[in-house]
Amino acid sequence: MKLNAIIVDDEPLARKRIERLLESIVEIRVIGLYGTGEEAIAQINKLQPHILFLDIKLKDVDGFYVLKHITVKMPLTIFVTAFDTYAIEAFDFYAFDYLLKPITEERFYKSIFRIIETLKSNPYKYFDDKVVNLLEHLKTGEEQEIGSTNSRIPVAYANKTVFIDKDDIQYILASNYYIEIYTAKQRYIQRNSMYGILKELDSRLFFRIHRSSIINLNYVAELQNSAYGEIDVKMQDGKQLRISKGYRKQFALKVGLRK
């Protein structure tokens, strides 16, 4: 029996590389390549693949969001990531496999052969349990972050560590391997990922509107609509930030917009 696989990565070259590497594996058939999480969720729920190659950082949502919105039998998931050390540690703990970019052929085929053997001997049960455990872990983390008593974030600044109040954060921008945290008085730089900082913030106030930007809803001055259907958020300090297509529907629900 052929094992159907779906590849989800926002980089076209990365998708194609995985597809090419799978061409020599007669047991696996690629049935879909997708660049966004929302599109992937719809197709995974429709096509019900056996195997899922899932990038952690997508243009619209992250890989964990995709997993949480799969309503059919969970495919055996292989995570793909460029860095995110914290994520790799989580995958190891939950016995998931992952591919670190740039993917090497040796590492890739080692993972594939283990997948085939696993599915032949004990299809899904082991990995089903691990997915459930991971999703429960993520759910618990979300609940904890809302009620967190830690109201400040430590950041390095001018040869010292300062503590900034989370409520003072107006917005956060991604900057390579760092993030830029903006308050009314100062910009701070922290070595962190957007997903990592979101886990430390109150999800009732902070919302990701783009792959590279998170806003505090309390500091939104207005929304601006362009003639091309684009929507920008104008912050109280005058900064304009684009809401990417993948986040618009969630943002509208978050702020109570009605069509």
pLDDT average, residue stretch 229-247? 91
Residue of higher predicted confidence among 14 and 227: 14
Q: Is the pLDDT at 148 greater than 70, yes or no?
A: no
Name the pLDDT band for 192 (thresholds 50, 70, 90): confident
pLDDT of amino acid 133: 59
For residue range 32-88, list pLDDT tens digits in order. 999 999 999 999 999 999 999 999 888 888 888 888 888 888 888 888 887 655 555
Give tens-digit pLDDT for 79-112: 888 765 555 555 654 546 778 888 889 989 988 9
13-22, 56-65, 128-137, 222-231: range with lowest mean pLDDT:
128-137
Using one digit for the tens of pLDDT, what is the confidence trace for 151-191? 888 888 778 888 999 999 999 999 877 899 999 999 999 88
pLDDT at 247: 84
- What is the pTM assigned to this prediction? 0.53
3-state SS record for the chain = CCEEEEEECCCHHHHHHHHHHHCCCCCEEEEEEECCHHHHHHHHHHHCCCEEEEECECCCCEHHHHHHCCCCCCCEEEEEECCCHHHHHHHHHCCCEEEECCCCHHHHHHHHHHHHHHHHHCCCHHHHHHHHHHHHHHHHHHHHHHCCCCCEEEEEECCEEEEEEHHHCCEEEEECCEEEEECCCCEEEECCCHHHHHCCCCCCCEEEEECCEEEEHHHEEEEEECCCCCEEEEECCCCEEEECHHHHHHHHHHHCCCC
Whole-number pLDDT of residue 95: 45
